[in-house]
């Protein structure tokens, strides 16, 4: 079943149709994008919100429940075929889309309520002129590129944070890749993907984290999140220095698992 005609998802897809000059295939499925095995081992195809074949583009509109716990949608007392509740399964499937869609040669753009004028509950205010401009900017910022390995790393780490009880929030610094809270704890994250020079990227990431250390609250920590190929470069900063600065290094493996290295202090 596609999005309701009056839903924010349908509204965003309709605006994207105008921007792209092509009508989307909504709730489209691919043979290679599958959910976890259910009873009897059957795996259903996971739909995407909108697909424009002529542009090789997929757009996902993700409401607030994709980025923070919402009991009404998460059904925490009921397990899915994935062995977790619906909220955790949603995060797992979002991360799967972020890996599989670019791996199959398509571009992925994720639109969230924070990207457009919205109220406190994440409902779009629907100012068409402003929303069209914002969507054009999002597409321009994406640069028509395929999702990068940094996108994969951020997506996997976001999924891990949700599973660990963290709630992603709007970053204090708009250039921060990801920021999350858990109780009175706060985590400020800088992520890097696979590159030809992981050493320079790691040094740059440490510098970016240093500039964001505006809080003296010891409950605020900082995370450098890197793929397996960049772990050695990230560990060139001695552990005792990372402990003093409250920086933890996290590894994201090629299959999307997250591992915290040498927990600091």
Pick 151 or 209 by higher pLDDT. 209
Residues 148, 77 contacting (CB under 8 angstroms): no
Q: How far is CA 93 from CA 4, 117, 156, in A?
A: 21, 26, 11
Between CA 4 and CA 223, with CA 107 as vertex, the angle to 5 degrees is: 95
Strands (E), 88-158: 107-111
Q: Is there a common fold for 8-142 and 149-261?
A: no
Q: How many C-beta atoms lie closer than 10 Å to residue 34's C-beta?
A: 16
Token pair of 187 as six digits: 């985590």
Task: Give the rounded percent of residues in the chain with a pLDDT score beyond 70.
Answer: 85
Q: How far is CA 247 from CA 59, 81, 132, 193, in A?
A: 34, 36, 39, 18
How many angstroms separate the CA atoms of 64 and 48, rounded?
17
Q: How many C-beta atoms lie closer than 10 Å to residue 213's C-beta?
A: 13
Residue 83 has pLDDT above 90, yes or no: no
pLDDT score of 16: 93
Do the strands 258-261 and 167-169 form a parallel or antiparallel pair, or are they unpaired? unpaired
Q: How far is CA 23 from CA 6, 17, 54, 125, in A?
A: 17, 5, 10, 23
Q: What is the pTM of this model?
A: 0.53
Angle between helices 8-20 and 128-142 (to 10 degrees): 70
Residues 64, 70 contacting (CB under 8 angstroms): yes
- Residue 226 burial by Cβ neighbours in a 10 Å radius (0-12, 13-18, 19+): buried
Residues 225, 154 contacting (CB under 8 angstroms): yes
Segment 54-62 mean pLDDT: 90
- 8-142 topology per CATH: Endonuclease; Chain A (3.40.960)
User: Hey, where are the domains in the chain?
Assistant: 8-142, 149-261
pLDDT score of 256: 81
pLDDT score of 74: 46
CATH code, residues 149-261: 3.40.1350.10
How many angstroms separate the CA atoms of 183 and 248, rounded?
19
């Amino acid at each position: 079943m596609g999005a309701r005609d009056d839903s924010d998802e349908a509204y965003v897809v309709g605006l994207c149709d105008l921007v792209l000059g092509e009508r989307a295939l909504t709730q489209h499925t691919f043979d290679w994008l599958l959910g976890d095995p259910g009873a009897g081992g059957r795996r259903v195809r996971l739909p995407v919100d909108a697909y424009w074949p002529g542009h090789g583009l997929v757009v996902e509109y993700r409401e607030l429940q994709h980025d923070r716990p919402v009991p009404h949608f998460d059904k925490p007392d009921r397990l899915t075929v994935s062995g977790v509740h619906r909220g955790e399964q949603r995060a797992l499937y979002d991360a799967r889309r972020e890996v599989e869609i670019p791996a199959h040669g398509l571009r992925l753009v994720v639109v969230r309520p924070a990207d457009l004028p919205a109220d406190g509950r994440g409902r779009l205010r629907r100012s068409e002129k402003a929303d069209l401009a914002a969507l054009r900017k999002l597409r321009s910022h994406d640069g028509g590129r395929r999702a990068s390995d940094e996108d994969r790393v951020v997506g996997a780490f976001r999924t891990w944070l949700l599973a660990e009880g963290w709630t992603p929030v709007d970053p204090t610094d708009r250039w921060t890749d990801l920021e999350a809270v858990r109780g009175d704890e706060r985590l400020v994250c800088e992520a890097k993907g696979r590159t030809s020079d992981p050493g320079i990227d790691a040094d740059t990431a440490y510098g970016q984290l240093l500039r964001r250390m505006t809080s003296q609250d010891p409950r605020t920590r900082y995370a450098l999140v890197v793929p397996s190929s960049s772990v050695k470069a990230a560990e060139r900063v001695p552990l005792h220095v990372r402990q003093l600065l409250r920086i933890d290094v996290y590894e994201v493996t090629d299959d999307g698992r997250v591992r915290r290295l040498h927990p600091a202090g």
